[in-house]
Amino acid sequence: MIIAWMGLLAAISVGFVIWPLVRKNNKPLVIEDTTPAVLVDQLDEVQRDLDRNLISKTEANAAQLEIKRRMLTAARRGAPGRIADGGTGRGLLWSSALFVPAAAIAYYALMGSPEISSLAYADRQAERAERQKIVEITDKLYARLTSEPDGGASEGWMLLGQTYYRMGDFDRAVEAFETVAERADATSATYSMLAEALVSAEQGIVTPKAETAIDRAVVLDPSNPAGIFYKSLALSQRGEEPAAHDLLVSQLDTADGFAPWMEAFVAQANSIGEKLGRDRVSLTDYAPVVADAPGPTEEDVAAAEEMSGQDRAEFIRSMVGRLATRLQNAPDDLDGWLRLGNAYTVLGETDQAIEALKMAEKLLASLSSDDPRHKLVDQALSELQE
């Protein structure tokens, strides 16, 4: 039955191809005349995909810019359009119109599986449903915040901004963070999140507006890792690499034990230091406890580079498993629990990450409230439990 329907559809398609050949219409066709209509259709299709949340706003903007660039190029190509000769290649068109559908039907009859649904589409149904649910919840939160007489709670706007950021809607994330930044209760974290959204909206470029937010974050909290990281990025982009490198290293020097942000600082410092010809820095230089934890040796790293993606993932999990096993025998290792929580976060295993960080939280209860690791654990747990 399916083959019969395919044959009917193929016959109709062949009819559309053959009809112009049979009519022998000799009216010249200006090829450029068809270009704008096709591109306009493409623009409409991109907008429809955006409205249905099939693509992000960033992806839609990029696609629309590319299509408009093509329209401009087509318009500049020149006045007299190229004339399509209706008599050229008619034999090839006849052959294609008859042979291609026949070959396709024959191949599908032998090799196809029409009874099986599209697995790729089916796999993405749950993803689309989840995204749509998030969009609906976010829209409700936005509506509630904007309808409140006092402008809505700052915590709600911060949550809204973080949600927009994770969805890739950086412009709306900026608007949400700016709402809080204009209030008296704005914190250093408010401005650093605003700066991050501004930088992401500009595809990694630190604009003057973003740097203003960064400076404000550092003024409110000189130890804010996010503020310092983006300040170093701004310095580097201005051509002040030595100052950017010194800023990163000085922050690493102040660290008391391992913290999750240190890995990004080390990577950034080495990236800048390579251009300056400076010696590479290592995480173990600033968090010696890392050296005592079971981890990959040089031979392990070399072997991992030769592994497939699946084998490498299993290798990484084995490293994390060894650390988790060691902590069962040494439950008082605060920095070990912090590393384990960070590792599980990177692997996307949220429940295990929360469990590890709560163990660290218990150990921190007996330490001074000035210990910076209190803030790191609180922030990490807050992000994981959202």
pLDDT one-digit tens code per residue, 87-106: 555 565 556 556 666 666 66
pLDDT of residue 349: 82
What's the CA gap between 331 and 326, in Å, rounded? 8
What average pLDDT does the chain have?
76
**Burial of residue 139 (number of CB atoms within 10 Å: 0-12, 13-18, 19+):** exposed
pLDDT of amino acid 189: 92
Mean pLDDT of 189-204: 92
Structural domains of the chain, with CATH: 2-111 (no CATH), 293-386 (1.25.40.10)
Out of 58-67, 197-206, 258-267, least confident range:
58-67
Confidence of residue 295 (pLDDT cuts 50, 70, 90): very low
Phi-psi region of 307 (alpha: psi -120 to 50; beta: other; left: phi over 0): beta
Rounded Cα distance, 167 and 297, in Å:
37
Amino acid found at 107:
Y
Convert the pLDDT of each residue in 131-182 to its tens digit: 788 888 888 989 999 998 888 899 999 999 998 998 889 999 999 999 999 9
Q: Return the percentage of the chain with pLDDT > 90, whole number.
A: 23
Specify the pLDDT at position 79. Answer: 47
pLDDT digits (tens, 9 = 90+) for 317-354: 666 777 788 888 778 888 788 888 877 877 778 888 88
Query: pLDDT for 215-247, tens place per residue?
Result: 999 999 998 999 999 999 999 999 999 999 999
